[in-house]
């Protein structure tokens, strides 16, 4: 599948040209000082709809051609739904998005504003995916998975092409993992384009389904807790196309606490003046937790999204300041 995926990623880059943003790769002096590594940030929070998801959604819908004319159905905890809604609008087709009951109100409102019809589902993200697939089968229209689709994963993989095209060698890349579409696609590119770059999968401790599946060697059901990283929350479908690429390419797994995620959100705001959502902060927190082995090395962190309610962000950062949480290197005595 590796060769097929890489070919699909190159086709996706051609489809996305002029539609998706080629997001900047920015050096972070502040995070570099905190971690001891040379830290570069891949700014996917500046992508259309505020997350990397637009790449996969647009590539999938564009690749469907006439099959999308009757409309498309998606399932999402928010970011994928926003991406599908915008991509469908650009393609001139209708979109319905199934959302889990736990979806952020901000993301639900944004999906509606982008023109998609909303269908609420009791349960988690996996329950929403199951309902959406059944609706798509019943209506005979395409289902756009958040991750379990080769074209979606290929669209996300174009992030890797942009990183590999930079005239720098990187020792590691940190990315948050939900269903594995982004990190699986990036891994397929970096294994050829930057073979010395270790791929680090990053998860919240309380919601690490794909991590546990990889450990088990097959897809299993994992109980998850509530997490600030709602964009990566939810179980993984049996037979997902992301499982083998993730198992093959992720070199290191790092799990972080909710306190570490909150602290990372505050640190990015402090040093970069950017609001990022919990999923993006997971990758920042993972580097800071893992800092000892990356000292003196050059790394990329994918800031995957910014879609968090302002009030929630202020609450999280305020709690961090009140608690004094600040991960990273200890100061010398």
State in words which class domain 2-52+150-323 has.
Answer: alpha beta
Whole-angstrom Cα distance, residue 81 to residue 285? Answer: 26
Residues of the chain with pLDDT under 70: 1-2, 320-333
Query: Given this model, what pLDDT does residue 124 score?
Result: 76
* Nearest partner of 12 among 133, 162, 142, judged by Cα: 162
pTM: 0.92
Residue 95 sits at φ, ψ, to 5 deg, of -140, 140
CB proximity list for 192: less than 8 A, separation 6 or greater:
6
Query: Given this model, what pLDDT does residue 104 score?
Result: 77
DSSP state, residue 239: T
Do the Cβ atoms of 234 and 99 come closer than 8 Å? no
Do the domains at 2-52+150-323 and 53-144 have one common CATH topology? yes
State in words which class domain 53-144 has.
Answer: alpha beta
Whole-angstrom Cα distance, residue 50 to residue 45? Answer: 5
96-115 tens-digit pLDDT? 999 988 787 878 899 999 99
Query: Given this model, what pLDDT does residue 130 score?
Result: 87
Q: For residue 221, how many other CB atoms are within 10 A of its CB? A: 12
Query: Given this model, what pLDDT does residue 123 score?
Result: 85
Question: Domain extents for the chain?
Answer: 2-52+150-323, 53-144
Kindly report the three-state secondary structure assignment for every residue of 141-201: CCEECCCCCHHHHHHHHHHHHHHHCCCCCCCEEEEECCCCHHHHHHHHHHHHHCCCCEEEE
Handedness of CA 313, 316, 318, 321 (dihedral sign): negative
Do the Cβ atoms of 268 and 141 come closer than 8 Å? no
């Amino acid at each position: 599948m590796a060769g097929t995926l890489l070919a699909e990623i190159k086709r996706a880059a051609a489809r996305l040209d002029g539609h998706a943003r080629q997001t900047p790769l920015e050096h972070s002096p502040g995070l570099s000082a905190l971690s001891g590594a040379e830290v570069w940030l891949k700014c996917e929070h500046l992508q259309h709809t505020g997350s990397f998801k637009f790449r996969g959604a647009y590539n999938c819908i564009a690749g469907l051609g006439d099959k999308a004319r009757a409309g498309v159905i998606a399932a999402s905890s928010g970011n994928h739904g926003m991406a599908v809604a915008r991509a469908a609008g650009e393609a001139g087709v209708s979109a319905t998005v199934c959302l889990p009951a736990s979806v952020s109100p901000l993301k639900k409102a944004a999906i509606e504003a982008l023109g998609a019809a909303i269908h609420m589902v009791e349960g988690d993200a996996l329950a929403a995916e199951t309902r959406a697939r059944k609706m798509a089968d019943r209506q005979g229209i395409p289902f756009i998975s958040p991750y379990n689709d080769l074209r979606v994963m290929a669209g996300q993989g174009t992030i890797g092409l942009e990183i590999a095209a930079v005239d720098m060698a990187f020792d590691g890349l940190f990315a948050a993992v939900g269903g594995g579409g982004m990190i699986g696609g990036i891994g397929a590119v970096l294994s050829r384009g930057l073979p010395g770059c270790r791929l680090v999968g990053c998860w919240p401790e309380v919601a690490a389904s794909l991590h546990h599946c990889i450990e088990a060697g097959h897809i299993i059901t994992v109980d998850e807790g509530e997490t600030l990283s709602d964009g990566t929350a939810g179980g993984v479908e049996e037979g997902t196309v992301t499982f083998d690429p993730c198992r093959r390419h992720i070199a290191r797994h790092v799990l972080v606490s909710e306190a570490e995620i909150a602290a990372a959100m505050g640190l990015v705001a402090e040093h970069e003046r950017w609001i990022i959502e919990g999923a993006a902060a997971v990758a920042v927190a993972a580097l800071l937790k893992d800092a000892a082995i990356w000292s003196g090395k050059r790394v990329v962190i994918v800031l995957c999204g910014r879609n968090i309610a302002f009030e929630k962000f202020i609450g999280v950062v305020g709690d961090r300041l009140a608690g004094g949480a600040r991960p990273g290197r200890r100061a010398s005595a």
